[in-house]
Amino acid sequence: MQEKKTERAPGSYEDFVAYLGTVRTEEELFSPLTYWFVGQNCPEDVCFRPQLVEARAKELGFWQGLTFKVEHWMTTSRAEAEAAGREAFQSRIGEDYAAYREKAEAARERARRRRLSSPFLYIPKCLDDIPVRDVSWLVEGLLPQGEVSLLGADGGTGKGIWQAQLVAYVTAGKTSGFFPQPPGQTGRVLIFAGEDDPSKVLKARLMAAGADMSRVMVQTSDAYFSRTGNPLCIPDKSFAKYIESAAPALVLIDPLQSFLPAGVEMVSRNQMRAALLPLKALCARLGCAALIAMHTNKRSNVSGRARLADSSDIWDIARSVLMMGRDKNSGQLYLSHEKSSYAAPARTALLHIEQTQVEGVTTAVAVFDSRTDKKDADFVEERRVRVAQTKADAAQAILDVLAEAKLGSMPNTQLRAEVVRETGCSEKTYNRAYGELVKSGEVVKRVIRQKDGTNSWYSSSSYCSKLDDQVPI
């Protein structure tokens, strides 16, 4: 059976895409032949050709000084073409193009022979053949390139307002207390917005932060649904096409819940992993960083991973995790770096939100205050340790202690001792609060027979009793 061949017109979009697939070195990528291909750009092309060159450079790992390299290559190639003259330049390109086609045909023939001779279609790579590489950072120590990161935040803490500072840093190199060091390079940002209206909220917020509007692209879930009648979801091919065409340095998805398929349950680890793997693979291939913003759950007085317990698999997939919250005692907003797979976590940033005006529109801007060594768990613990003034306070303390207990359960005597110690409530107040929680079903009371034959009373929250072994330890 002969392999079917498709003839491509020289310089066509299909021919250019095939050519980029054969490029392996910087010299080949930033060459006069590539410049000639880019010059054949036409309106029918799916993507702007210079963007494809940048995307291929990122795919090959040519991150260092990429923006400068592209500009230098375009300027130098234009000067060479003008100096050589049209006929001489075309003659050179003709030779280079013929060499490329010959090389591509030879590679295609070798691949065909390997397929016919090999008993396996897929052969795993030998680790000995894989080079060791340093981690590349979009934001040093915070957002790795080619990886998925996560921003979890309580409602009303200003995650979108802080993200505007990040966009300003990536697109315009704008430094601040959040990002004190200038970036190695700037680039485009693609925002998938599921909540914020671009004209009413998003643009003014980004302008106030100092972002370069010419480098910010946005696709809303509402606009996509209005145009297609279908929701825009991360595993869809259309989602990947938006990213490939934009060739961004950073992809922002806010919030995650707006871009998950309808059938995906966030509590299901398998479903969440299947939904996010296409994004992870795309980031690795294109070399762009992705930051997924999501709301925290409604469980009281839990910290870190437990605040995202109903979607714990995204914590595992993410190489960097940030958590935003508010100290309920002082009102202080904080941004805590909770997980970092490739570097030591950054110190927690303290911030506040200020109102400002942009072109007559009232918006908000995140203002850096200072840094602290306290983490999310420290702020949450401070919320919980307070004097119980009422029965309601004591009841909340009981639920908090049970929520943080291993398996969500503990002996009644231990529960009483911890609540009284942490809140200072009286035994009478504790008993009244505990009795009402048992009566309402919020706390489950059960007897467990011990190894010595005696019975002990245990308490657990109804939430943990329903989940049983699904509760994170």
User: The tokens 């349950």 sit on which residue?
Assistant: 265
Q: Is residue 356 domain-shared with residue 448, that is, in the same domain?
A: no
- 10-residue stretch averages of pLDDT, the chain, 473 residues long: 52 86 89 91 80 85 82 90 87 88 82 65 74 90 95 88 97 96 92 91 96 96 91 93 94 93 80 89 94 80 65 82 86 93 95 93 95 89 55 83 73 86 79 89 84 81 50 29
Q: Is residue 330 domain-shared with residue 389, that is, in the same domain?
A: no
Question: Would you state the pLDDT for residue 344?
Answer: 93
Per-residue model confidence as pLDDT tens digits over 191-214: 999 988 899 899 999 999 999 999
Q: Is residue 352 domain-shared with residue 397, that is, in the same domain?
A: no
In a domain, 379, yes or no: no
**CB 313 within 8 Å of CB 277:** no
Q: Is residue 364 domain-shared with residue 407, that is, in the same domain?
A: no
Q: Is residue 93 domain-shared with residue 160, that is, in the same domain?
A: no
Domain boundary residue, one of 123, 158, 187: 123
Per-residue model confidence as pLDDT tens digits over 341-366: 999 999 999 999 999 999 999 999 99
**Cα(264)–Cα(392) distance, rounded to whole angstroms?**
36
In a domain, 271, yes or no: yes
Q: Is residue 53 domain-shared with residue 153, that is, in the same domain?
A: no
**Total domain count, the chain:** 3
Domain boundary residue, one of 80, 98, 123: 123
Q: Is residue 360 domain-shared with residue 395, that is, in the same domain?
A: no
In a domain, 68, yes or no: yes
Range of the domain at 115: 13-123
The reply to whether the predicted model has a pTM over 0.85 is no
Q: Is residue 103 domain-shared with residue 173, that is, in the same domain?
A: no
Domain boundary residue, one of 123, 145, 160: 123
How does strand 333-340 pair with strand 289-295?
unpaired
What does the longest C-alpha to C-alpha distance in the chain come to? Answer: 99
**CB 182 within 8 Å of CB 154:** no
CATH code of the domain in which 442 resides: 1.10.10.10
In a domain, 3, yes or no: no
Q: Is residue 312 domain-shared with residue 405, that is, in the same domain?
A: no
In a domain, 67, yes or no: yes
In sequence order, the 6+-apart residues with CB closer than 8 A to the CB of 473 are 406, 407
CATH code of the domain in which 203 resides: 3.40.50.300
Q: Is residue 179 domain-shared with residue 301, that is, in the same domain?
A: yes
Of 403, 81, 407, 144, nearest in space to 283 by CA: 144
Per-residue model confidence as pLDDT tens digits over 64-89: 788 888 889 999 999 988 888 888 88
In a domain, 398, yes or no: yes
